[in-house]
Amino acid sequence: MRQLYGNDSNTNTLYAVAAVIDKIPESSALSNLESEGLSLLAIDKENVHGKAAPPRRFGEPANEESDILVSIHNEQKSQSPTGVTHEIGLRLANTVFVNGKESTLLGMQWTRDNTTNAYTLDSTINMTSCAVKSTSSASTSPHLKLPLYPIGDRRTVIASMGNILRQISKSSDPNSQEPIPASSELEKDLPRYIKEHNITDQRVSVWALVEKPDIKVGDPSLPTRDYLIQSLSQGGKLHRVVSGGGGWGKKQGLLSLDPEISFSGSAQRHALVGLDQLFNPSADAEMDLPPFLAKGLVGEDLSLLSQVATAGDFIQFFVSVDPASIQDAVPSNAGRSDGNITYRFGMVSKAEERSPSDMMDGNDNITVVPNSFGALSEKSISYTQPMAQGGETPGSSTKLDIPGCQVVVKSV
């Protein structure tokens, strides 16, 4: 604290928010290593909002899963009518075997001693959600790493309800309306993929890319990574296939998709308050939210309650692959120290396949990486970006829970 603020007598109260996450991403774009460590961001208190955890009995499960949301704003575009920037949400680590809590997100208030100029911890609050706004004076450049491989062809959705996919088109022709059970293609193509790639562990995770008919990717023959990036920037969404296949009667061939595209805690932005009010609540306090929080549950946030896919949408299935086997979309200079902050969030690679020596890279030294902030989750992240083309919603959101995927936003 003293290193940040020195002996500034005008700063009597400081706040800090600490979250326990699974891993820290390696800053170099040429490395897939993940490590333990600290990721620090110093920011004005006005740019941090949170929600206190409600009291509950010992052993009682939490009402909602904790998450953090980082919004990267561009000062040059702050007057845009939508106000949408790059937003990355992250599920926290499971700490139940460390402190008995499903996750750990703490707000802290520090007070300066006028005699010693030292800061002492005054109070702490358990939180369920925290939203942080970071402003960049330079333009921002996003890069995505999506280790996925396509299975089958792009098909038309014929029938679905909620997050249940019932029928897709038999042909990849966009005008085809002849239906087949939704799981038919996967039941045929997945065993072939497993055999061709000599996969001994036949537990293969599958994702579905759902696209609205108005999404126009320039060249359908683009490499998988480039196609996915273009589709997601126009409103395409990735959903994990959580169950399905087999069955009989009306349940034959159904697929169940994970409907979540953002996290409920940070999506309910009307419930977030500033740090001053969080530690000093007042019934008469004005709920003045900054623009990046005031929008609340509007636009795509309502899709938390809507259908995953509707008739006429397009769907394409993918399987996850080893992150090291694909070309990284992040430029080689994304981790360099040039005065601008690089934000790097993503998913941990398959932890059970990584040895401690892989993650520590053979040494126990502490490495300091300036101008870098980020975290990795074993659960999932969410990503909202400005729409590449105009539409009814100001931003495009999707949930990413692919092992080894990353979202990197760099100021350029």
pLDDT in tens, 181-234: 999 989 999 999 998 888 877 678 999 999 999 888 877 778 899 999 999 999
Same domain, 249 and 275: no
Same domain, 116 and 210: no
DSSP codes joined into one string, 214-230: T---S-TTS-HHHHHHH
Q: What are the structure tokens assigned to 278, written together?
A: 């969080």
Closest to 48 measured CA to CA, from 130, 114, 171: 130
Q: What are the structure tokens assigned to 229, written together?
A: 């990036």
> Can you give the pTM of this predicted structure?
0.86
Would you say residue 354 lies in a domain?
A: yes
Same domain, 233 and 330: no
Cβ atoms 382, 89 nearer than 8 A: yes
Would you say residue 6 lies in a domain?
A: yes
Would you say residue 301 lies in a domain?
A: no
Count of all residues that appear for the chain in the document = 412
Q: What SS3 class is residue 211? A: strand
Same domain, 166 and 235: yes
Structure confidence at residue 176 (pLDDT): 86
Same domain, 95 and 218: no
Tell me how many domains the chain contains. Answer: 2
Closest to 375 measured CA to CA, from 33, 17, 92: 92
Would you say residue 302 lies in a domain?
A: no
Structure confidence at residue 127 (pLDDT): 95
Count other Cβ atoms within 10 Å, centred on residue 240.
18
Cβ atoms 44, 14 nearer than 8 A: no
Same domain, 331 and 395: yes
Rounded to the nearest 10°, the torsion over CA 323, 324, 329, 330 is 110
Judged against a pLDDT cut of 60, whether residue 64 lies above it is answered with yes
Q: What are the structure tokens assigned to 210, written together?
A: 């759902």
Cβ atoms 21, 92 nearer than 8 A: yes
Structure confidence at residue 82 (pLDDT): 47
4: left (phi over 0), alpha (psi -120 to 50) or beta: alpha
Cβ atoms 122, 389 nearer than 8 A: no
Distance CA 195, CA 124 (A): 54
Distance CA 346, CA 104 (A): 19
Structure confidence at residue 248 (pLDDT): 57
Average pLDDT, integer, range 51-73: 81
Distance CA 43, CA 323 (A): 33
Split at pLDDT 50, 70, 90, the class of 275 is: very high
Same domain, 276 and 248: no
Q: What are the structure tokens assigned to 257, written together?
A: 């998709």
| Positive or negative: CA dihedral 142, 143, 148, 149 | positive
Same domain, 140 and 159: no
Same domain, 88 and 212: no
pLDDT in tens, 232-260: 999 999 999 998 876 655 677 899 999 99
Would you say residue 107 lies in a domain?
A: yes
Same domain, 139 and 100: yes
Would you say residue 384 lies in a domain?
A: yes
Report in angstroms the alpha-carbon separations of 55 from 102, 125, 201, 272, 318.
14, 11, 43, 17, 42
Average pLDDT, integer, range 360-377: 79
Split at pLDDT 50, 70, 90, the class of 81 is: very low
Same domain, 179 and 138: no
Closest to 122 measured CA to CA, from 270, 196, 1, 13: 13
Q: If you average pLDDT over every residue of the chain, what do you get?
A: 81
Q: Is 228 exposed, middle or buried (0-12, 13-18, 19+ CB in 10 A)?
A: buried
Average pLDDT, integer, range 386-411: 82
Distance CA 13, CA 42 (A): 14
Structure confidence at residue 376 (pLDDT): 96
Judged against a pLDDT cut of 50, whether residue 283 lies above it is answered with no
Judged against a pLDDT cut of 90, whether residue 354 lies above it is answered with no
| Positive or negative: CA dihedral 147, 151, 157, 159 | negative
Would you say residue 8 lies in a domain?
A: yes
Q: What are the structure tokens assigned to 175, written together?
A: 């005008």
> What beta strand segments (E) does 312-401 contain?
314-320, 342-347, 372-377, 381-386, 395-400
Would you say residue 287 lies in a domain?
A: no
Same domain, 191 and 314: yes
User: Could you tell me the residue range of the domain that residue 91 belongs to?
Assistant: 2-144+271-282+325-411
Q: What are the structure tokens assigned to 352, written together?
A: 């059970």
Distance CA 259, CA 248 (A): 24
